[in-house]
Amino acid sequence: MIGTELKEHITKVLDLVGIETLAREYRVVQRERQLDIVSLVVALILSGGTHEGGRQYDVLRTYIENGAPSIVRGVFYSWFHAPLERLMSELLRRAIEVGQQQEKILPGILAGVTDWRIVDSTTIKLDKALFAEYPGAGDYAALKIHKEWSVGTGNLVSYQITPARDHDSPTLIVNESRRGTGLLVDLGYASIDRLSECEAFDVRYVLRLKDNWKPRIDRLVRGSITRDVAAGADLDVLIDEDILILDGHAIDADVTLGRSGRTVKSRLVGVPTPKGYCFFLTNLPRKTHGPLQVGDVYRVRWEIEIDNKVDKSAARIDEVTARKPVSVHILVLASLLNSTIARTIVQSEKLAILALSRKSDTPDAARAPLHPILLMRALSSAHGTIVRLLLTSADDAAEWTRLMERLRGLGHDPNWRRRPSVLDRIQGLTASPGRARNQRAQ
């Protein structure tokens, strides 16, 4: 990725003319002499801070440091209102659109679908004053951010914000719009009806077997048994009575789930791990995905957990201390914008690395991919430079190139050689471990 591409990514979302136009359309700016809307938006998205003063205070400080007119805190907080929320929501929609326009990286066992989607939620605790609007699971206030995440683009696809007390499952809808895609979900989204919907709309899925589900084996394809079993035998019974031997080898079977007319056919895969067997349900074909490959596809679901950590550790989404629902929404949208812009840059750098790797004589990736948390911290530290480059109309290609080199130097993944993720391995973003540090020093 080069400087001009970095400029293109950032200016597509932080389009100054577009922001000012939306601000007038949504009536965000009431007194133009007082509010610098561009500086406010950039401060909201890229604000770093000490993690001591609260998100809104850090946004105020960043806003003033960017050169905006000084303003008292009470007036500043009054700007967090419905028009600004609407503006931030539209900017996030555009950022998601930019991210989803990027080329997808779906090689090897990720192929065969138009994209793999991961669905999950993360909970954010709020001030107790918001309990009526956002009741948590206990006697505290909290909201849930339900996210759908693309494996192919490595970025956010859609989101919903609900009270934390609401269950996850109703937010996932399987219909015609998902035809030809894949779905990776945890147990909170598992149901017999959902598996039937996936079959009806040609959606591939991989999910863990629920403890209270009792699959009946119709045909055992792989696995060691002590005697022949009739079709329809209960999996738990076969294991408890040592008929199906868990001897460290993979298990693969056709099964039926459900009772009383609500049944579904599926494929059951058992994968040995250091902690015992993990059982998965899937409709991936055996000719392309053996049991171990099914397990690896499911392990890619961990990317959404990493993304939640990115939101909390780098975008500070869990440091919302505001007491008004509209202020909470604005800060959440700003955090999602932050991580979405960063993920777009990470994906662009991945594509550049893979292009270089294909041209090289060695299969190793040409350089380290970017780490989203480290990249977002680097973007935060460079917010002044970004604002200045956005505001200038001169030929600034060299400065954008220097900024990209700075971001790459501060934001590269330090563990890409020693501990690549499952997704990095599948996508080919790996390299030989190299020598240990003490050996290099010698």
What is the distance in angstroms between the CA of the first residue and the CA of the last residue of the chain?
Answer: 34
d(CA 18, CA 231): 64
**Could you identify the residue written with the tokens 């610098």?**
36
Residue 163 has what pLDDT? 96
The DSSP result for 248-289, as a single string, is SS-EEEEEEEEETTEEEEEEEEEEEETTEEEEEEE---TTT-
Tell me what pLDDT residue 328 has. Answer: 92
C-alpha 379/C-alpha 68 separation (Å) is 19
Residue 430 CB neighbour total at 10 angstroms: 18
Confidence at residue 50, expressed as pLDDT on a 0 to 100 scale: 46
Which pTM was predicted? 0.91
Query: Looking at residue 45, what is its pLDDT?
Result: 86
Say if residue 139 is exposed, middle or buried (CB neighbours under 10 Å; 0-12, 13-18, 19+): exposed
Percent of the chain at pLDDT exceeding 90: 55
Task: List residues bridging with 116 in a β-sheet.
Answer: 182
In whole angstroms, what is the distance from residue 72 CA to residue 60 CA? 9
Structural tokens at position 110: 């990720």
What pLDDT does residue 436 have? 53
What pLDDT does residue 88 have?
Answer: 94
Distances (CA, A) of 434 to 256, 298, 439, 441: 48, 29, 10, 13
pLDDT at 393: 63
At 93 the pLDDT is 96
Q: Give the residue among 407, 332, 392 at the shortest CA–CA distance from 44.
A: 332
Placement of tokens 């591409």 in the chain: 5
Pair type for strands 233-234 and 155-163: unpaired
For residue 111, give both structure tokens: 């192929």
Q: The tokens of 123 are what?
A: 């909970």
- φ/ψ of 183, rounded to 5, equals -135, 125
* pLDDT tens digits for range 391-442: 776 668 889 999 999 999 999 988 888 888 899 999 988 877 655 555 555 4
At residue 49, the pLDDT reads 47
* Per-residue burial over 274-300, b = 16 or more CB atoms within 10 Å of its CB, e = otherwise: eeeeebbbbbbebeebbbebbbbbbbb
Q: Which residues of the chain have pLDDT under 70?
A: 1, 30-34, 48-54, 361-366, 393-395, 433-442
- Other C-beta atoms lying within 10 Å of the C-beta of residue 438: 7
